């Protein structure tokens, strides 16, 4: 833990530079489908169809980012736009079309969004794990702290306070390009 903490906090303070990927998001163009697995504390609660359709919009640096959940009468389609803000810095944005703009960051092999809604913290990652496979995940947490530890001295080392949060849900889908 002693070796990890300084590196972890150095990353937080200085930030790691995103490595631009000139092929992203163009290499994600396609219609991706799979099963969304929804987990809670007691395990997997359900599986539903999920689709992700990414296509150029015709505007420079913009792509559709349409997410489909379920099928038939239960189908929900969320039509968003993935916008390039600064590709060199790995900064993108998902425009939900309703005044909500989610900043997204290209970090190594993944597109990451971290945001909060009401009292929930959400972390979404999408990663191309194979040429025609994306792994999409969203972790749902609560902003109320469950515990705060550290904040003291141990073995002559100043230990910063570390706050833990409840993570009541995980959604994950392996999406294959059609």
Indicate the domain borders of the chain: 20-177
**What are the structure tokens assigned to 70, written together?**
């379920």
pLDDT of residue 20: 57
Q: Are 93 and 104 in contact (CB under 8 A)?
A: yes
pTM passes above 0.95:
no
**What are the structure tokens assigned to 60, written together?**
């420079």
Q: Express each pLDDT in 81-118 by its tens digit.
A: 999 999 999 999 999 999 999 999 999 899 999 999 99
pLDDT of residue 108: 87
Query: What rounded mean pLDDT belongs to the chain?
Result: 91
Out of 2.40.128.20, 2.60.40.2890, 3.40.50.740, 3.40.50.300, the CATH code matching 20-177 is: 2.40.128.20
């Amino acid at each position: 833990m002693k070796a990890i903490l300084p590196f972890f906090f150095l990353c937080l303070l200085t930030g790691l530079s995103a490595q631009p990927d000139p092929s992203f998001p163009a290499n994600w163009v396609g219609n991706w489908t799979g099963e969304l697995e929804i987990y809670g504390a007691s395990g997997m609660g359900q599986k539903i169809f999920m689709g992700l359709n990414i296509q150029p919009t015709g505007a420079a640096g913009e792509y559709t980012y349409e997410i489909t959940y379920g099928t038939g009468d239960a189908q929900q389609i969320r039509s968003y736009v993935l916008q390039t803000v600064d590709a060199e810095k790995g900064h993108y944005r998902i425009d939900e079309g309703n005044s909500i703009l989610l900043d997204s960051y290209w970090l190594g092999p993944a597109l990451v969004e971290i945001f909060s809604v009401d009292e929930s913290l959400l972390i979404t990652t999408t990663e191309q794990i194979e040429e025609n496979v994306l792994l999409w995940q969203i972790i749902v947490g609560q902003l109320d702290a469950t515990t705060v530890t550290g904040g003291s001295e141990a073995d002559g080392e100043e230990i910063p306070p570390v706050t833990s949060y409840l993570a009541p849900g995980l959604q994950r889908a392996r999406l294959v390009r059609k």
